[in-house]
Amino acid sequence: MNEYTVEVIVEYKPTASDPAGETIERDLMHKNGYSMVSNVRTGNYMRMKIKAKSPDEARNIAERLCNELRIFNPVAHKLTIRVGDQN
């Protein structure tokens, strides 16, 4: 077994509403002189260590974890999983 660093990024799909991103864009940026910024999108980031036989197995474990623990909503969110080098 090797230990892999796995990064999980959960972000809203382009067609889904992102209330936090809209608030940041409208209230924090435009009202404070950052009108050149647009299309602000928010998300969640997790980094974890996973013991697995291969990078593919580590990716599959992370994906199962996200689905079973309902860390993201597949209707509204896009899930990106990156597996780094083994440690």
- Core vs surface per residue 2-30: b (16+ CB within 10 A) or e: eebebebbbbbeeeeebeebeebbeeebe
Work out the number of other CB atoms within 10 angstroms of the CB of residue 62. Answer: 23
pTM: 0.82
Q: What are the structural domains, with CATH classification, of the chain?
A: 2-16+43-86 (3.30.1280.10)
- pLDDT tens for 6-23 read 999 999 999 999 999 999
- pLDDT tens for 69-82 read 999 999 999 999 99
Whether the per-residue pLDDT at 87 is higher than 70: the answer is: no
- pLDDT tens for 14-51 read 999 999 999 988 887 778 888 888 889 999 999 999 99
